[in-house]
């Protein structure tokens, strides 16, 4: 193994746990946000809110911390989304994996762009994911569903992204520079 010169702190249990916590934070925080969005809050459009939270988090962490959001983790988050949403099995999984794939494909370009362009890219991804979910749900239920809830979900995702991205950006910076927290 090629060692770089310099003094490195010893790898003890605390450092290993710190690395594990930093690496697991994106997936854990996404799962907790999904559970919070699934709580019986009595909000109108709460089902669309759950799907939008999942889309925002997977898109954001896939762009800015891809090592912490690998496809198996996205798959598990999709299963959690399907279970909490009572959606047909696989709809949330497939849509989150497609969002993850898009974010990974365009990552090199999007991470160098400003917030507005990243947000516009997310709006396009959210619209595509909502259309995919509508299509899959229509196919799996053998019934052509009205497109209104899908449009509403894309709109909620577009509106939710700036607020959630601000919080996730702060968390991302704290993970990268814990001394600055």
What are 98-142's pLDDT values in tens digits?
999 999 999 999 999 999 999 999 999 999 999 999 999 999 888
1 pLDDT exceeds 80? no
pTM of the model: 0.87
| Average pLDDT estimate for 11-26 | 83
9 pLDDT exceeds 70? no
Give the N- to C-terminal CA distance of the chain in Å, as an integer: 33
Q: Quickly list H helices, 39-114.
A: 46-64, 71-85, 91-105, 107-110
Output the pLDDT for position 110. 94
Could you tell me which of 115, 94, 103, 89 has the C-alpha nearest to residue 58? 103
Output the pLDDT for position 157. 93
Output the pLDDT for position 181. 45
Rounded (10°) CA dihedral 134, 149, 158, 136 = -10
Give the domain ranges of the chain: 45-176
**Residues 6 or more apart from 179 whose CB is under 8 A from it?**
none
Output the pLDDT for position 28. 94
């Amino acid at each position: 193994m090629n060692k770089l010169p310099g003094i490195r702190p010893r790898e003890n249990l605390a450092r290993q746990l710190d690395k594990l916590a930093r690496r697991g934070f994106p997936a854990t925080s996404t799962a907790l946000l999904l559970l919070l969005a699934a709580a019986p809050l009595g909000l109108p459009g709460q089902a669309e809110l759950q799907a939008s939270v999942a889309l925002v988090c997977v898109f954001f962490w896939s762009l800015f911390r891809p090592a912490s959001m690998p496809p198996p983790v996205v798959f598990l988050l999709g299963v959690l989304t399907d279970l909490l949403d009572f959606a047909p099995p696989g709809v949330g999984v497939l849509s989150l994996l497609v969002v993850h794939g898009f974010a990974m494909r365009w990552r090199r370009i999007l991470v160098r762009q400003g917030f507005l362009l990243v947000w516009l890219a997310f709006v396009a991804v959210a619209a595509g994911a909502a259309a995919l979910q509508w299509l899959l749900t229509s196919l799996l239920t053998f019934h052509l569903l009205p497109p209104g809830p899908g449009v509403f979900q894309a709109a909620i995702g577009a509106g939710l992204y700036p607020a959630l991205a601000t919080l996730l950006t702060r968390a991302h910076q704290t993970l990268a520079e814990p001394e600055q927290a």
